[in-house]
């Protein structure tokens, strides 16, 4: 098999040892004669998988006992709707930092009775940094933030002051990649396919007092139904939950969030340094807002960008094309992306630059 490095923004690189473990136990899960895909979601074997996944996540993120962990479907995108439906009464505040936060704002605005205020935005800077966030008015039902902006490559390194207003975070692209104090948040959500496992699973971590506020919701859209039924009100994405459990075990064995954060800092520091030292490549994001997990870079020449992406792919560096809304290149370096891959990419970039400037 050809060795490649996959820089995809999601679904993304998985730890190789996890893929091997899945392969090994794929046909008969723990001697049951059944694949994990064939287990009933009400079986004791699956119950143990989902219980283990939850307790590993609680341990890794130090989730306090007054928070529920929910395993849902519909992607982070369904949370854009579920959050206002469940938590909003009159008025909510959003921070606009790019494509995904805009989508979240759009869904909140569809709720007719709701006043949606964008209290900070970096749209005037083409989202190349995160904005200063003013103190949040205390009559808001919540404030929504995207902690890491996957498309634009920006991240918040300081959380806004929200007083007693619950802070709601879309952590889809940086959950478990650096430390957060869960008690700073009312709710954290993330699609699994970037840092946790395959697509099909969405993690929601919600403070208990925020569950059951809206009594007139459809069962599947209501956090209370999901919490009361321990995420198996209906059939959950069993295979994705199983895989997530293996990834969480892998992360725990590695030393947990503190250990992976150190590696993630090393990976991103190396790549930013190489980009900053280059005469050909440039990082469009302001230094103070640079994401650890999604790193855009450009040559400021569309044809050269295209050539670089094409030659990189031939050399085994795949999915380096930037999001269609911003162009250029983007390297996504989630937890499972290896340090050697970053080192190899840097070498390739240097060789490309030498070739281009010589020509």
Catalytically active residues are 100, 170, 194
Shortest distance in whole angstroms from residue 34 CB to ligand PLP: 28
Q: Toward ligand PLP, which CB reaches closer, 79 or 162?
A: 79
Which of the residues 10 through 69 are near ligand PLP (CB under 6 A)? 10
Shortest distance in whole angstroms from residue 142 CB to ligand PLP: 17
Provide the Cα torsion 178, 192, 144, 208; round to 10°. -90
Q: Toward ligand PLP, which CB reaches closer, 76 or 320?
A: 76
Q: Which stretch binds ligand PLP (CB under 6 A): 73-81, 220-228, 271-279, 336-344?
A: 73-81
Which tokens hold the place of 220? Answer: 């599947």
When CB distances to ligand PLP are compared, the closest residue is: 75
Contact between 75 and ligand PLP per CB under 6 A = yes
CA distance 174 to 356: 34
Contact between 191 and ligand PLP per CB under 6 A = yes
Which tokens hold the place of 40? Answer: 């009933």
The pairing of beta strand 143-146 with beta strand 67-72: unpaired
Binds ligand PLP (CB under 6 A): choice among 8, 128, 162, 172: 172
Site string for ligand PLP, 129-168 (x = CB under 6 A): -----------------x---x------------------
DSSP string, 84-132: HHHH-SSEEEEEE-SHHHHHHHHHHHTSTT-EEEEEEE-GGGTTSSPPP
Which of the residues 80 through 109 are near ligand PLP (CB under 6 A)? 100
Shortest distance in whole angstroms from residue 32 CB to ligand PLP: 30
Contact between 76 and ligand PLP per CB under 6 A = yes
Burial class (CB in 10 A: 0-12, 13-18, 19+), 252: middle
Which of the residues 310 through 329 are near ligand PLP (CB under 6 A)? none
Binds ligand PLP (CB under 6 A): choice among 17, 77, 230, 307: 77
Site string for ligand PLP, 225-244 (x = CB under 6 A): --------------------
199 alpha carbon, distance to own chain's centre: 11
Residue with tokens 């094309």: 321
CB 185 within 8 A of CB 167: yes
CA distance 53 to 43: 16
CA distance 171 to 144: 11
By CB under 6 A, name the binding residues for ligand PLP: 10, 75-77, 100, 146, 150, 170, 172-173, 191
């Amino acid at each position: 098999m050809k060795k490649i490095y996959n820089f995809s923004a999601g679904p993304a690189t998985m730890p190789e040892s996890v893929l091997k473990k899945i392969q090994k136990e794929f046909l008969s899960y723990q001697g049951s004669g059944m694949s994990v895909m064939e287990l009933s979601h009400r079986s004791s074997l699956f119950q143990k998988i989902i219980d283990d996944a939850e307790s590993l996540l609680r341990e890794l993120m130090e989730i306090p006992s007054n928070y529920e962990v929910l395993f849902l479907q519909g992607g982070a995108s369904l949370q854009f709707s579920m959050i206002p439906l469940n938590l909003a009464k009159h008025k909510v505040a959003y921070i606009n930092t790019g494509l995904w936060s805009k989508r979240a704002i759009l869904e909140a605005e569809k709720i007719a009775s709701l006043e949606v205020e964008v209290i900070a935005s970096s749209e005037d800077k083409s989202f190349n940094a995160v904005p200063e966030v003013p103190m949040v008015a205390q009559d808001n039902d919540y404030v929504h933030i995207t902690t890491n902006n996957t498309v634009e490559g920006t991240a918040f390194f300081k959380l806004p002051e929200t007083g007693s207003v619950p802070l709601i975070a879309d952590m889809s692209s940086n959950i478990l990649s650096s430390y957060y104090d869960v008690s700073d948040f009312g709710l954290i959500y993330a699609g699994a396919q970037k840092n946790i496992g395959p697509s099909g699973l969405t993690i929601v971590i919600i403070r208990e007092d925020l569950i059951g506020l809206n009594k007139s919701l459809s069962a599947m859209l209501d956090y209370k139904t999901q919490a009361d039924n321990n995420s198996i009100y209906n059939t959950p994405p069993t295979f994705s939950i199983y895989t997530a459990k293996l990834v969480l075990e892998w992360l725990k064995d590695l030393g947990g969030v503190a250990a992976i954060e150190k590696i993630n800092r090393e990976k991103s520091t190396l790549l930013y340094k190489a980009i900053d030292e280059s005469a050909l490549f440039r990082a469009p994001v302001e230094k103070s807002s640079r994401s650890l997990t999604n790193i855009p870079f450009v040559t400021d020449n569309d044809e050269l960008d295209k050539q670089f992406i094409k030659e990189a792919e031939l050399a085994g560096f795949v999915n380096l094309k930037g999001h269609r809304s911003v162009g250029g290149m983007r390297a996504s370096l989630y937890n499972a992306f290896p340090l050697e891959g970053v080192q190899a990419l840097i070498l390739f970039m240097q060789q490309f630059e030498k070739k281009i400037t010589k020509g």
